[in-house]
Structure 1
Amino acid sequence: ARAEGVRGTILDPFASGLALIVAGLFFARRVWEMQLLTVGDLFSQKYGRKTELVSSVVQALGYLPWIAAQYLALAAVLTHFFQIDHTTAIFGAALFVTFLTMIGGMWSVTLTDTVQICVVLVSLVLLGVKFASTVGEGSVAGGITMTWEQTPLELRTLLPEAGLVALLGWSTTWLNGVFGNIPGQDLMQRIFASRSGSVASRACLLAGCVYILFGLLPVGMGLASRQLWPDELPQGSDGHVILALAELFLSPPGICLLVV
Structure 2
Amino acid sequence: MALNVPGLVVMAVFYLVILGTGIWASMRSRRKEKKWTGDGMEITLLAGRNINLLVGIFTLTATWVGGGFILGIAEATYNPTLGAVWALMPVPYIVTFFLGGFFFAKPMRENKYMTMMDPFQLKYGNFMSSALIIPALVADVLWVARTLVSLGGTMAVILDLPYVYSIIISSVVAIIYTLLGGLYSVAYTDVIQLILIFISLWVCVPFLMTNPHSLDISLTAYNANFQAPWVGTVELHEAGKWFDDFMLLALGGLAYQAFYQRILSASSYSQAQITCFASSAFCLVLGIPSVLVGAVAASTDWNSTAYGLPTPYERDQAGSILPIALQFLTPVYVSVIGIGAVAAAVMSSMDSALLSSASLFSSNIYKNIIRREASDWEMQWVIRISVVVVGVAGTALTYLDNSVLVFWLVGVDMSYTIMFPQLVCVLFFKVSNAYGATLGFFIGIILRFLSGEPLIGLPAAIRFPGFRPDKQGTLTQYFPFRTTIMVITLASILLFSWISLIIFNKGLLSDKWDVFKITQKQKPHTDPDRTDSDPKDGPDAAKQLLSTTSC
Aligned residues: 251
Matched, 1:174 2:246: yes
Tell me by how many angstroms 1:183 deviates: 2.0
1:16: which partner in 2? 93
Q: Give me the whole-angstrom Cα distance separating, in 1, the residues matched to 2:278 and 2:217.
A: 25
1:90 Cα shift?
Answer: 2.5
The one-letter code matched in structure 2 to 1:8 is W
1:145 is aligned to 2:251: no
Task: Give the corresponding residue for 1:244.
Answer: 324
1:196 aligns with 2:196: no
Please say if 1:156 is aligned against 2:228: no
- Alignment check: 8 A CA contact 1:75 1:86 kept: yes
> Which of 303, 311, 335 pairs up with 1:232?
311
Which consecutive residues of structure 1, in runs of 5 or more, have no partner in the other structure?
Answer: none
Shift in CA distance, 254/226, structure 1 to aligned 2, threshold 3 Å: closer
Tell me how far 1:95 sits from its aligned partner.
Answer: 2.6
Cα 1:232/1:239, change in 2 over 3 Å: farther
For residues 114-142 of structure 1, what are the alpha-carbon distances to aligned partners after superposition, in whole Å with 9 as ceiling and x for unaligned? 111111111111112332344799xxxx9
Moved more, 114-123 or 147-156: 147-156
The 2-side partners of 1:119 and 1:147 are apart by 30
The question of whether the paired residues in 2 share the 8 Å contact of 1:25 and 1:205 is answered with: no
Matched residue, 1:132: 209
Q: Classify the secondary structure of the residue corresponding to 1:182.
A: helix
Checking the alignment, whether the CA contact within 8 Å between 1:28 and 1:201 is kept in structure 2 is: yes
Once residues 330 and 288 of structure 2 are traced to their aligned partners in structure 1, the CA distance between those partners, rounded to angstroms, is 19
**Cα offset for 1:201?**
0.5
Structure 1 pair 250/46, CA: closer, same or farther in 2 (3 Å)? farther
Question: Is the Cα–Cα contact under 8 Å of residues 147 and 224 in structure 1 kept in the other structure?
Answer: no
Kindly indicate whether residue 144 of structure 2 is the aligned counterpart of residue 67 of structure 1: yes
Question: Shift of the alpha carbon at 1:254?
Answer: 3.9
Instruction: Give the stretch that moved more between structures: 199-208 or 83-92.
Output: 83-92
**Which of 175, 197, 207 is the equivalent residue of 2:279?**
207
Residue 7 (structure 1) aligned with residue 81 (structure 2): no
* CA distance in 2: counterparts of 1:202 and 1:104, whole angstroms: 25
Are residue 184 (structure 1) and residue 262 (structure 2) matched?
no
* Structure 1 residue 238 displacement after superposition: 7.8
CA apart distance, 1:99 = 2.1
Q: Is residue 255 from structure 1 mapped to residue 334 from structure 2 by the alignment?
A: no
**Which residue identity does 1:161 align to in structure 2?**
E
Q: Is the 8 A contact 2:222 2:229 kept in 1?
A: no
Q: How does 1:51-66 map to 2 (within 5 A)?
A: 51-66=128-143
Deviation at 1:245, TM superposition (A): 2.8
Q: Work out the CA distance in 2 between the residues paired with 1:135 and 1:25.
A: 47
Report the Cα distance in structure 1 between the residues aligned to 2:223 and 2:294, rounded to whole angstroms.
Answer: 13
**Alignment-mate amino acid for residue 296 of structure 2:** A
The structure that is helix-richer by fraction is: 1
CA–CA separation in structure 2 for the residues paired with 1:179 and 1:66: 17
For the residues of structure 1 that align with 2:251 and 2:217, how far apart are their CA atoms? 32
Residues 144 and 33 (structure 1 numbering): CA distance in 2 closer, same or farther, change over 3 Å?
farther
Once residues 192 and 90 of structure 1 are traced to their aligned partners in structure 2, the CA distance between those partners, rounded to angstroms, is: 31
Unpaired segments of 5 or more residues in structure 2? 1-76, 303-309, 343-551
Cα distance in structure 2, aligned partners of 1:255 and 1:17? 27
Q: Deviations over 1:140-179 (max 9, x none)?
A: xx9563453558697525x74222xx33322221221111
How does the TM-score come out when normalised to structure 1? 0.83
Q: Which moved more, 1:245-254 or 1:124-133?
A: 245-254
Quote the Cα distance in structure 2 between the aligned partners of 1:147 and 1:210. 27
In structure 2, C-alpha distance between the alignment counterparts of 1:131 and 1:84, rounded to whole Å: 23
2:208 and 2:326 in contact (8 A); partners too: no
